[in-house]
Amino acid sequence: MDIPRGNIIVMDRRRGKLRVGQGLIQGLKVVWDHWAGSFHKNENFSQIHGTFTVEYPDERLPLPQTYRNMPVLLYDDESGHELCTGCYQCQRICPPQVIHITQAKDPVTGKMVPAATEFIIEYDACMSCGFCAEVCPFDSIKMDHVYELSTADRVSLTMRKAQLNRPISYYASIAPDLWAEVQAGAMKKLQGSIKRRPDVIGLAAVLTEKIKARRLELAAAAAAAPAAAAPAPAAPAAPAAKLTPEEKAAKLAAMKATNANKGVAAPPAKAPVELSPADAKAAKLAAIKAANAAKQAGAAAPPAEVPAELPPTDAKAAKLAAIKAANAAKKAAEQGNSE
Amino acid sequence: MQDVVNQVINTTFGWNWPSWAIALIGYLIVAVILFAIAPFQMLFLTLYERRAIARMQDRVGPNRVGPEGIFQPLADGVKIFTKEDIVPDAADHWVHFIAPCVVVAPTMFMFVVLPWGPGMVPVDLNIGLLFFFAISSVSAVGLLMAGWASSNKFALIGAMRAVAQMVSYEIPAVISLLALVLITGSLSIVDMISYQGGLFISSRDVASVPDWGLGWFIFTPVGFLAFVAFFIAALAEGERTPFDIPEADSEIVAGYMTEYSGMKFGLFYLAQYVLNFLLCAITSVIFFGGWQGPGVGWLYAQAITPVNPQGGWVFNVLAGVLGVVYFLSKTYFFFFVMVWIRGAFARLRIDQLMDFGWKFLIPLTLVNVISAAVWVALTKWGAADGLAFVEGWSPLVRWAVAFVVTLAMNLGAYLYLARIFAHSQAERERLDDEVLESLINVV
Amino acid sequence: MDLLIQIIFGLLSALIIGAAMMVVTVRNVIHAALWLIASFFGVAALYLTLEAEFIAVVQVLVYVGAISILVLFAIMLTRSSEGERLLTQHWWAAAIISLGLFGAVLLPTLVGHHWNLPLPTGPAGTPESLAGVEELGRGFVNEFLIQFEVAGILLTVALIGAIVIAFEERSRRRRVLTLSEEHILRQRQQATATAAQAALVTADAAD
Amino acid sequence: MTRAIPLEAVLVVAAALFCIGLFGALSRRNLVGVLMGVELMLNSVNINLVAFWRYLEPRFITGPTFAIFIITVAAAEAAVGLAMIIAIYRSWLTVNIDSVDSLKG
């Protein structure tokens, strides 16, 4: 007995007729058919017989493109820039208020920059409503398809920006049609915001880490190199037609370092002033600059080399190093002046 | 068992222990075996039920713990053992504590008269059948204790329902068995099994029938009707789904088990599944010949028995194994039927349950008892008992006449009662409507 | 063997008497009923030691399985009067009567009387055939036929009588409506209300 | 059995049970308690009957037959008695015997 799906079965109670248990037998037959049919798997989910069970860890159903689980942040594969501009739209609309954004500022001017320095989503309280993805004007937040998120503790479900970043290519792979719809607009808006982003602000967190490491390397190399030989070989990277984001950033840093080298007459006291932006990178840069300045000022100033060699892992250490370097530079300058 | 113990102790070791010590040891060994078997039956049946019902619902069921999920019951057991035992503050602590034991103990007692194979019965009581049902009615007391001691409304309602149901459905169960007791002429379960040799016709009724172990009561009209009535009553007594009113999850949480947790809850669960196993077993024993089946009788005739001391012990083992296989396969088939019914039917309301039991099942089984009397008269009585017209009929003819007459009686009774019952239900609905009308008029 | 039986008998007697004492002295009526069940069980076991298996099983079936359940039901359906006095005002008179009956009449009579016992049977003597279930059944349809029928009529009368006494008429029963019935009721009320309004309107129009 | 335990022992147990039941039936205030006392008394009578059958006339079935009749009567008595208790409770809202005294002038 095949019951077409989606139809309402109206049972005929057969009032007035003598009922002697035929209905019970009919019911048993239906169940028997299901039992007998359940020994083969129901593959297309269109019949009413067969086992429907998907044995989950072993086999998984393909998820539809519009499936949504948890929000993630997209960044551009090519430039490494995040699509997010820190516009707070998602933070405002989020019903359980689990999105927390810190707007980026230009370290030099102190102005707002269309990027987010920190972006936190508390996955443990997120309810997967998808409002953030819908409201995002830059198509930066998208809903991920990953659903195996369980952890042993609550804290590890608080996702920071580095954990939320996904390349666009990933999103295009899980939801190609959805991405194709918005791709043109999103990329155009991204180009616009990239123009307004100084330095490395707005780069994906995974890249900034690498850039940081690379910069330190370069800075150390530059510091170790003799001052006279500095200008030309400081930038080892050739000006190629197409640079990877890392190389680009590295080049930038190297250029800055050489600029500092060139500025012989630059007053060493400038270094602490530049520390005002509470940014690690800026501080580090300042440190490097100060060190270089110190080297320029006094040839016989060995302590100045120390801070450059320190591996400044975090902002505080960097700041400390910068201050030390500045002090050392000042001392060296005084010595030089007195001599 | 006692012969074996006697053989080992007094002949092999030559200790010359008294007979009561031998008997005690024999009974102890049997008891230990049964106490080991009962929980394993429960473990197996839980898995069996879950897998079977899953298939009926187009699912797979538990299949992750071990191959095909065979260790799932053990995992459940470990879980239940590690749970905290919570007793409500307002509970009557002693009664609350004793109730699970009172529920479990009778189910263990019932194993005493259950035959597993030829010559494999713990105690062959001459009132075995009555013992079985007398003991099974004791667990009702335990249920009532559990429900009352929990001092919980749901528990009390569940216990009341359970007891009302058990007491009501014991009557049709016992009366339907009474018909077969009339035919067999004995209350001993072993006698009932040995009556069922033959081939569709019992060799006791017609001596010329070959003994293939297939002369089951189910092939007679009396036995069939008794089987249907008994199985329905067994469903009600085992609180299986169409009658699982006492623990209707959607209405009264878990009935009398609501305030139980941990191993006490596990004991209720154990009692329930062991009772289900026993009911299936007694169904298979009484209506489907128990261990009777092709080959068992022949094998047992070659074995060492009090009748035939010169047999070979190999035949003992073979007959035992084959008998137990037949018995267990029948039993598990009936458990499958229980699961099948669970998958198919919805739960009854308590008044429907009572109506069905008292107004349909009991009259039906009473008619069946009269049919059984007719059957006995037509197949066994002679001129000496005042039944002169059967003289000269061959046993087969007498059997056939008895078959037709009892079939007509039972079928007629069934159809008539179904009609009456349907009318009474309609009348009931009409009365309900009247009450509704009167309510409207008041308002 | 004899010692074993004596020990078992002693334990059973203690169970029967102790449980019976609890039945009449315990304050909680439910507990009294549970002790009553224990006493019934002890009596059933005593029947077993007396080799009356059928009576023992009937005892369990009827007393434990039916009567005690009835008693428990009756207790639960009636409100127990906790906190009031357990015994009547003249309980001491009852105690004196019972104790006197036991100590002064029954005990001396039973112990002092000489019973004309047949030869003791058991492991030593030849086992004597006991009247079993079959004899009992034959007796019921031969010599005790009238009594059997009377007992049957008594049970039927008791069944009908109990139903008649405890029966509440359906129309007098307090009834909780189901959701669907409530819905129907409300619908009908609305229908009657609108009909009445319509009647009023027509009456106004007629005026 | 009959050798190990004297008939008197069984009869004394039955007599003690009877007296306890009598005390319960006479002194309990709860009607159900009274009924329980009566049940105890009936049980003791049954013990007596079965004991006499076993010790004196084991080949005849008179003892068990009477025991079964008494059990029948007890069942009927319990059914009717408890129905009456429920009926009384319905009209008096109590089951204490000294409260149900509307016939007392």
C-beta separation of A338 from A284 below 8 A: no
Query: How many CB atoms lie under 10 A from the CB of residue B431?
Result: 12
What CATH number does domain A71-195 carry, 3.30.70.3270, 3.90.580.10, 3.40.50.10420, 2.40.240.20?
3.30.70.3270
Percent of chain B with pLDDT over 90: 8
Confidence of residue A236 (pLDDT cuts 50, 70, 90): very low
Among C33, C49, C80, residue at a domain's last position: C80
Of A18, A28, A35, the CB nearest to B419: A18
Highest mean pLDDT of the ranges A296-310, A315-329, B56-70, C145-159: C145-159
The secondary structure element, H or E, covering residue A50 is none
- Smallest CA–CA distance, residue B68 to chain A, in Å, is 13
The secondary structure element, H or E, covering residue B243 is none
For residue A49, list chain B residues with Cβ-Cβ distance below 8 A: 58
CA angle C54, C55, C59 (to 5 degrees): 120
* A9 pLDDT above the threshold of 70: no
pLDDT given for residue A234 in this prediction: 44
For residue D4, list chain C residues with Cβ-Cβ distance below 8 A: 1-3, 5-6, 9, 122
Summarize pLDDT for B53-87 with one digit per residue, the tens.
888 888 888 888 888 888 888 888 888 888 888 88
pLDDT given for residue A319 in this prediction: 64
Q: Is the whole model's pTM more than 0.80, yes or no?
A: no
For residue B57, list chain A residues with Cβ-Cβ distance below 8 A: 34
pLDDT given for residue A303 in this prediction: 45
Confidence of residue B248 (pLDDT cuts 50, 70, 90): confident
* C18 pLDDT above the threshold of 90: yes
pLDDT given for residue A269 in this prediction: 41
Confidence of residue A252 (pLDDT cuts 50, 70, 90): low
Pairing of strands A71-75, A165-167: parallel
Q: Return the half-sphere exposure (C-beta side, CA atoms, 13 A cut-off) of residue C148.
A: 13
The yes-or-no reply on B/D contact (3 CB pairs or more, < 8 Å) is no
Tell me what the pLDDT averaged over chain C comes to: 79
C52 and C69 part of one domain: yes
Q: Which of D31, D36, D48, D69 is the best substitution to test chain C (most C C-beta atoms within 10 A)?
A: D36
ipTM of this predicted structure:
0.74
Backbone angles phi, psi at A112, to 5 degrees: -65, 145
- Rounded mean pLDDT of B160-166? 86
Total domains present in chain C: 3
For residue A26, list chain B residues with Cβ-Cβ distance below 8 A: none
Among C80, C105, C120, residue at a domain's last position: C80
- Rounded mean pLDDT of B23-31? 83
- Rounded mean pLDDT of B373-382? 83
Summarize pLDDT for C150-205 with one digit per residue, the tens.
988 998 998 888 888 777 665 555 556 667 667 777 777 788 888 888 887 777 77
For residue C8, list chain B residues with Cβ-Cβ distance below 8 A: none
Question: Nearest residue of C to residue D4 by CA position?
Answer: C2
All residues at 6 or more sequence positions from A217 whose CB lies less than 8 Å from its CB, including other chains: none
- Smallest CA–CA distance, residue B263 to chain A, in Å, is 29
* C43 pLDDT above the threshold of 60: yes
Pairing of strands B201-202, B198-199: antiparallel
Summarize pLDDT for A185-206 with one digit per residue, the tens.
888 888 888 888 877 777 777 7
C6 and C26 part of one domain: yes
Radius of gyration of chain A (CA): 31
Highest mean pLDDT of the ranges A108-112, B4-8, B177-181, C184-188: B177-181
Pairing of strands A112-122, A158-159: antiparallel
Is B131 in CB contact (< 8 Å) with chain C? yes
- Rounded mean pLDDT of B270-299? 86
Task: Say if C135 falls within a structural domain.
Answer: no
Neighbours, chain C (3 or more CB pairs < 8 A): B, D
The yes-or-no reply on A/C contact (3 CB pairs or more, < 8 Å) is no
C15 and C50 part of one domain: yes
Task: Say if C107 falls within a structural domain.
Answer: no
pLDDT given for residue B184 in this prediction: 87
Give the whole-angstrom CA distance, residue B109 versus residue A170.
67
pLDDT given for residue A304 in this prediction: 41
Of C24, C43, C110, the CB nearest to D43: C43
The secondary structure element, H or E, covering residue B393 is none
Please choose, from the candidates D66, D62, D13, the residue with its C-alpha nearest in 3D space to the C-alpha of residue D40: D13
* D14 pLDDT above the threshold of 80: yes
Task: Say if C76 falls within a structural domain.
Answer: yes
Pairing of strands B198-199, A71-75: unpaired
Radius of gyration of chain C (CA): 30
Tell me what the pLDDT averaged over chain B comes to: 84
Residue by residue, DSSP assigns chain C as -HHHHHHHHHHHHHHHHHHHHHHHH-SSHHHHHHHHHHHHHHHHHHHHHTT-HHHHHHHIIIIIIIIHHHHHHHHHHS---TTS-SB-TTHHHHHHHHHHIIIIIIHHHHHHPPP-PPPP-SSSSPPPPPP-HHHHHHHHHTTTHHHHHHHHHHHHHHHHHHHHHH---GGGS--PPPHHHHHHHHHHHHHHHHHHHHHHHHHHHH-
Tell me the two tokens of residue B215.
Answer: 């002369």
Interchain proximity D82–C70, CB inside 8 Å: yes
Lowest mean pLDDT: which of A37-46, A79-88, C190-199, D37-46? A37-46
Confidence of residue A309 (pLDDT cuts 50, 70, 90): very low
For residue D71, list chain C residues with Cβ-Cβ distance below 8 A: 58-59, 62-63
pLDDT given for residue C42 in this prediction: 92
Lowest mean pLDDT: which of B64-68, B96-100, B105-109, C77-81? C77-81
The yes-or-no reply on A/B contact (3 CB pairs or more, < 8 Å) is yes
> What would be the CATH architecture of the domain defined by D7-92?
Orthogonal Bundle (1.10)
- Rounded mean pLDDT of C96-124? 72
Interface of C with B in 26-85 (CB under 8 A): 30-31, 34, 37, 53-54, 57-58, 60-61, 64-66, 68-69, 72-73, 76
For residue C25, give its domain range.
Answer: 1-80
Domain ranges of chain B: 1-82, 87-345
Give the whole-angstrom CA distance, residue B68 versus residue B189.
36
pLDDT given for residue A305 in this prediction: 44
C-beta separation of B440 from B409 below 8 A: no
Residue by residue, DSSP assigns A203-251 as B-HHHHHHHHHHHHHHHHHHHHS-STT-TTTT--S---SS--HHHHHHH
Summarize pLDDT for A161-170 with one digit per residue, the tens.
888 888 888 9
C-beta separation of C137 from B127 below 8 A: no
C168 and C180 part of one domain: no
Q: Which of B50, B57, B58, B231 is the best substitution to test chain A (most A C-beta atoms within 10 A)?
A: B58
Neighbours, chain B (3 or more CB pairs < 8 A): A, C
Summarize pLDDT for D72-97 with one digit per residue, the tens.
888 888 888 888 888 888 777 777 77
pLDDT given for residue C126 in this prediction: 45
Task: Say if C125 falls within a structural domain.
Answer: no
- Rounded mean pLDDT of C37-49? 90
Q: Which of C61, C75, C170, C192 is the best substitution to test chain B (most B C-beta atoms within 10 A)?
A: C61
Is C170 in CB contact (< 8 Å) with chain B? yes
C-beta separation of D59 from C42 below 8 A: no
Tell me the two tokens of residue B413.
Answer: 């009774």
Lowest mean pLDDT: which of A257-261, B237-241, D63-67? A257-261
Confidence of residue B238 (pLDDT cuts 50, 70, 90): confident
- Rounded mean pLDDT of A273-297? 55
Percent of chain B with pLDDT over 70: 97
Domain ranges of chain D: 7-92
Confidence of residue B367 (pLDDT cuts 50, 70, 90): very high
Tell me the two tokens of residue B309.
Answer: 């001391």
